[in-house]
Structure 1
Amino acid sequence: MDTKPAPFVPPAPRPRTSPPSTLEMIRIVYRNPLELWGEPSYNEPWISVTGVGGPLVIANDPELIRHVLVDNAKNYRMATVRQKILRPILRDGLLTAEGEVWKRSRKAMAPVFTPRNIFGFAPAMLERTLAFIERYEAGGVSDIAHDMTMLTYEILAETLFSGEIAGSKDTFAQDIDRLLETMGRVDPLDLLRAPDWLPRLTRIRGRKVMAYFRGIVSDTMALREEKLKRDPAGAPQDFLTLLLKAEGPGGLTRDEIEDNIITFIGAGHETTARALGWTLYCLAEAPWEREPIEREIDAVLAAEPDPTKWLDLMPLTRAAFDEALRLYPPAPSINREPIEPETFRSKSGQELYIPPKAAVLVMPWVVHRHRKLWADPEAFIPARFHPGNREKIDRFQYLPFGAGPRVCIGASFAMQEAIIALAVLLSRFRFETVAGTKPWPVQKLTTQPQGGLPMRITRRTGR
């Protein structure tokens, strides 16, 4: 008799069965946009409606997603609402830059993210993780959501700045959290596409935080520039040095380097942290999935000390992380807007008219849980991503790092960081849920667990 437990179904908002009123929609979007989506979003290939801010297209069909993000990407720019939220923080960073600025920046930064450079950061990732887990030796209960933001911050500080940060290192992580909390929220006026001169009350208090944080980044850049002038060969070969070397004609301006450092901090630090937290939570609730992963990690660590090889040698560990990314995509929406209206025709003959100024939403949160694309979509089933299965997944139904020309440039960095962190954490410790572990996914800049992830940490027997 098969005694395998039923798959674990982690918490998520239930699809709405009726559309909200205009006021209710604005309230939901501000509080938690994940609670907005109704049954059709999880069943139909696309939805086209006229909403509060104008025409709205929700794209779920992989063929349509490919059309918008790849095949006809030249006809789609970043959506107005998204830019209103992110540009005040990131300015001309890669996530928000457009046109020639984006093309030049992407080309200039491509050498920074070569496999050679990414592999070069693996020892620092391992070293920072080993140092971080010393706090767990005494056991007890800790908020893993907070801990993972601290771990990924320490890795980022080492790989981005080599720990050389102007001001107080002790408060830098808190400064990041304050920045993302005050500036990364949807304002009702953005949803209504109100003119920029109308003040966004939700972000007024964030301006001071933004100015302070940019000052720290600018001062840190100045310190490194001075070091490069004094001793070019002795400067750390981290992201900051690589970016500063990309400055100049045809490359990055100094302001763009600052913008991209802030983009890396927001996109690289926060997204990986959330994904790690959700992975540990799901594995704690599904110990039958965790046990073979522990055996895999133990075997690899005993045989292979080189952390650059762990990603390829740990398919079960990677599958669990990929499945957590499916259920809780750190960036839960990809927003585009057509430059010219067009009619999309699917291979099956269906047609969709995309009108001028339509907000075209590719929602990884919805696509990753779509009932026509996934079996048992709300359940945590890492086997979907085991070798032999992952190859059957359409490239455009799984979008944790986006797709097309604007696919996340740091995806390889994030995957290497995640597997190194999970390998170290799970090789030594068990993470178990407690009575207070009742997370609720909330969309801010990332998919965050409201209420945190308090978990009991114990040393693994014999480890």
Structure 2
Amino acid sequence: MDTQPAPFIPPAPKPRTTPPSTLEMIRIVYRNPLELWGEQTYNEPWISAKGAGGPLVIANDPGLIRHVLVDNAKNYKMATVRQKILRPILRDGLLTAEGEVWKRSRKAMAPVFTPRHIFGFAQPMLKRTREFVTRYEDGGTSDIAHDMTLLTYDILAETLFSGEIAGEPGSFASQIDRLFETMGRVDPLDLLRAPDWLPRLTRIRGRKTMAYFRKIVTDTVKMREEKFRRDPDGVPQDFLTLLLKAEGPDGLTRSEVEDNIITFIGAGHETTARALGWTLYCLAESPWERDRVEQEIDAVLAREPDPTKWLDAMPFTRAAFDEALRLYPPAPSINREPIVPEMWGDLYIPKHAAVLVMPWVVHRHRKLWDRPDAFLPERFHPGNREKIDRFQYLPFGAGPRVCIGASFAMQEAIIALAIMLSRFRFDTTSETKPWPVQKLTTQPQGGLPMRVTPRAL
């Protein structure tokens, strides 16, 4: 007799059954875009409609997604609305740059994210995680969402910046929350494609926070340049040094260097932090899955001291993380806009249409997944993961603009989960009632208060 418990159904907005009015839609998009989508969105291969800001195409079919992001990627630029949200924060950083600026930045950063370099980051990742988890030794309750922001910031600082980022981590975490709460939201005027000269309340509210991050970047660059002057041979060959060396007439401008630093400081750690928090939450609500992951971690750590081997050696741990990424993709929406109109099969995609490839929707699509709303890591177990279409699972995007740090993030996540779950158990409490909200990333509104207790091994 099968005694497998019913799978955990994590919290998520129920698909709408009636379309919202224009005013209601603007309110929902500002408050939480994840609550906007209706039943049709989760069932159809694509939807073509007239939106508040013009033509709208929602792409769910893996073939259509591949067409937009890979096969005809040259015809698609980042959507205007998305640029209006991100450019005030990141300017010409890798996430928002287009054309030649994007090519220069991608080329300059590629050497940092080769497998050899990423393996070299494993020991610093391990060291920082071990230091971080000492805070849990006496047990107690902690907001794991906040903690993971601190942990991934520590790892980012240690690996890409050799521990030399100006600013204080605790203040940084609260300022990140503030930045995403203000400038990270869709402004109603942008949604309506209002003229740029009309002031946006979201940007006005976020100016002070944006100035804080710009100062961190300026101070970080000054610290490194001073080190260059004092001891050129002793400068660490990290991400920051590589960017500064790429500066010049045929490379990056100083403003592009600074924009890419703020992209990685501000967004580079945030996505992994959110995914780690959601993973620990889903495992706590699925103790049978957590038991399997803990047993795997204990066995691997007992025989394999090299953290570069853990990702391949821990398929159940990786599967739990992948499933959390499916249910709560850190980047829930990929927005594109065609440069010239085109046809894809019977679908006409007009010029300037907002083309939405939404991992949040695709990952929960009724025609693509069995029991799409359930936490079922077995989808990603060996033998099952190979059956998943490359373009129905998009936690890191796809195509030329696929996340450059995907391998970095996967290694970081498995190392962090291995150390945390080998030493501590994370349980939900009566106060753990997260609600997924889209503010650039998929964040748990209300945080993730969890009880942490040392494991008796």
Q: Specify the alignment match of 1:13 in structure 2.
A: 13
Instruction: State how 1:442-453 maps to structure 2 within 5 Å.
Output: 442-453=437-448
Which piece of structure 1 moves more, 204-213 or 303-312?
204-213
Q: Specify the alignment match of 1:210 in structure 2.
A: 210
Question: Which of 377, 380, 403 pairs up with 2:372?
Answer: 377
Deviation of the 1:116 alpha carbon: 1.4
Note if contact 1:112-1:243 (Cα within 8 Å) is conserved in structure 2: no
Q: Specify the alignment match of 1:348 in structure 2.
A: none
Instruction: State how 1:271-290 maps to structure 2 within 5 Å.
Output: 271-290=271-290
Distance 1:80 1:310 in 2: 41
Give the residue type in structure 1 aligned to 2:419: V
Q: Specify the alignment match of 1:159 in structure 2.
A: 159
Note if contact 1:12-1:440 (Cα within 8 Å) is conserved in structure 2: yes
Distance 1:168 1:338 in 2: 42
Distance 1:253 1:115 in 2: 27
Which piece of structure 1 moves more, 261-270 or 280-289?
261-270
The verdict on how the C-alpha distance between 1:377 and 1:17 changes in structure 2, with shifts beyond 3 A counting, is same
Give the residue type in structure 2 aligned to 1:438: K
Instruction: State how 1:288-437 maps to structure 2 within 5 Å.
Output: 288-345=288-345, 351-437=346-432
Note if contact 2:150-2:169 (Cα within 8 Å) is conserved in structure 1: no
The verdict on how the C-alpha distance between 1:304 and 1:118 changes in structure 2, with shifts beyond 3 A counting, is same
Distance 1:380 1:167 in 2: 38
Q: Secondary structure at the match of 1:268?
A: coil
Distance 1:240 1:82 in 2: 27
Deviation of the 1:242 alpha carbon: 2.3
Distance 1:301 1:250 in 2: 47
Q: Specify the alignment match of 1:136 in structure 2.
A: 136
Which piece of structure 1 moves more, 231-240 or 395-404?
231-240
Deviation of the 1:209 alpha carbon: 2.0
Distance 2:100 2:356 in 1: 24
Note if contact 1:179-1:213 (Cα within 8 Å) is conserved in structure 2: no
Instruction: State how 1:72-83 maps to structure 2 within 5 Å.
Output: 72-83=72-83
Q: Specify the alignment match of 1:150 in structure 2.
A: 150
Distance 2:41 2:170 in 1: 43
Q: Secondary structure at the match of 2:267?
A: helix
Distance 1:326 1:432 in 2: 21
Give the residue type in structure 2 aligned to 1:403: A
Q: Secondary structure at the match of 1:277?
A: helix
Note if contact 1:323-1:380 (Cα within 8 Å) is conserved in structure 2: yes
Instruction: State how 1:15-54 maps to structure 2 within 5 Å.
Output: 15-54=15-54
Give the residue type in structure 2 aligned to 1:413: F
Q: Specify the alignment match of 2:92 in structure 1.
A: 92
* Count of residue pairs the alignment pairs up: 457
Give the residue type in structure 2 aligned to 1:458: T
Note if contact 1:428-1:460 (Cα within 8 Å) is conserved in structure 2: yes
Deviation of the 1:232 alpha carbon: 2.3
Note if contact 1:275-1:328 (Cα within 8 Å) is conserved in structure 2: yes
Give the residue type in structure 1 aligned to 2:91: R
Note if contact 2:81-2:190 (Cα within 8 Å) is conserved in structure 1: yes
Deviation of the 1:172 alpha carbon: 3.0
Deviation of the 1:152 alpha carbon: 0.8
Does 1:252 pair with 2:249? Answer: no
Q: Specify the alignment match of 1:224 in structure 2.
A: 224
Distance 1:169 1:130 in 2: 17
Deviation of the 1:112 alpha carbon: 1.6
Deviation of the 1:167 alpha carbon: 4.3
Note if contact 1:59-1:361 (Cα within 8 Å) is conserved in structure 2: yes
Which piece of structure 1 moves more, 168-177 or 140-149?
168-177
Distance 1:353 1:333 in 2: 21
Which piece of structure 1 moves more, 180-189 or 78-87?
180-189
Deviation of the 1:452 alpha carbon: 0.8
Deviation of the 1:101 alpha carbon: 0.8
Give the residue type in structure 1 aligned to 2:159: T
Does 1:114 pair with 2:109? Answer: no
For residues 74-111 of structure 1, what are the alpha-carbon distances to aligned partners after superposition, in whole Å with 9 as ceiling and x for unaligned? Answer: 11111000000000000011110001111121112111
Q: Secondary structure at the match of 1:82?
A: helix
Distance 1:135 1:168 in 2: 18
Deviation of the 1:39 alpha carbon: 0.4
Deviation of the 1:267 alpha carbon: 2.4
Distance 2:167 2:154 in 1: 16
Q: Secondary structure at the match of 1:316?
A: helix
Deviation of the 1:169 alpha carbon: 4.8
Give the residue type in structure 1 aligned to 2:125: M
Q: Secondary structure at the match of 1:93?
A: coil
Distance 1:170 1:454 in 2: 17
Deviation of the 1:180 alpha carbon: 2.8
Distance 1:211 1:459 in 2: 40
Q: Which runs of 5+ in 1 are unaligned?
A: 346-350
Note if contact 1:371-1:377 (Cα within 8 Å) is conserved in structure 2: yes
Give the residue type in structure 2 aligned to 1:308: T
The share of aligned pairs that are identical, in percent, is: 84
Note if contact 2:146-2:173 (Cα within 8 Å) is conserved in structure 1: no
RMSD of the alignment, in Å? 1.2
